[in-house]
Amino acid sequence: MNTKIAASLLSADMLHLGDELERVKQAGVDWIHYDVMDGWFVPNLSFGLPELQAISKGTDMFIDVHLMINNPALYIRNFAKSGANLITFHLESLTDPFTTIQTIREYGCQVGISVKPRTPAKALLPFLDDIDVILVMTVEPGFGGQSYMHEMTAKISEIRNMIQGRNIKIEVDGGVDNTTAPEAVSAGADILVSGSYLFKQKEMQRAVEKLRNIK
């Protein structure tokens, strides 16, 4: 099965976002990856609800909302109603993971949990029966354009072994390009989040197919 490709809007041209959405769709991208940062959980600010509402009206693509915020459970309802299809929160956030998972389910979205580089894979074990996606950060979250942390490849492999027999997908985010993607896919990644690599391409479709067809 081909790898799914998610385009991170952090690297899109914000002045022409509607055109960028059409560009990624025409290039064959599978998901829109929508990063939300609160300036506390990570040292940066990004998109919020108004932008998501506009994006969801402007595209029929699957929207993968990644909440890099301290209190995700407080905002699940609003993000779900604004167009999210998948809501991923961080295990390191302040809200109870089981409560957050339940709330995401109640609002009809798929559930993802993300872990920062320093969080061990085994920390995910209590939640494996309740989630759809594990997002492995291969950079420290907060800023686009960082380099892939190769030591995270072993974590991807460990998680792949942990989830055997379960219908959970592994998503990888951080420094993913044509040189690092083969490493992530060989370790067990199902979904590749790519930002600066994709949006810098003159021929995005060719770049997408290169990532999708990695064996």
3-class secondary structure per residue, 134-181: EEEECCCCCCCCCCCCHHHHHHHHHHHHHCCCCCCEEEEECCCCCCCH
Catalytic residue selected from 38, 64, 173, 177: 173
Question: How much is the pLDDT for 169?
Answer: 98
Give yes or no for residue 39 having a pLDDT over 70. Answer: yes
The predicted pLDDT at position 45 comes to 81
- Reported as a pLDDT band with limits 50, 70 and 90, residue 35 is very high
Question: In the prediction, which pLDDT does 144 show?
Answer: 67
Question: What band does 4 get if pLDDT is binned at 50, 70 and 90?
Answer: very high
Domain extents in the chain: 4-212
Active-site option among 30, 35, 64, 190? 35
Q: Active site includes 177? A: no
> Could you tell me the pLDDT band of residue 125, with boundaries at 50, 70 and 90?
very high
The band of 136, judged by pLDDT with boundaries at 50, 70 and 90, is very high
4-212: which CATH number, 3.20.20.70, 3.30.70.20, 3.40.640.10, 1.10.3720.10? Answer: 3.20.20.70
> Would you call 13 a catalytic residue per the annotation?
no
For residue 172, the model assigns a pLDDT of: 98
pLDDT for 1 beyond 90: no
pLDDT at 142 over 80: no
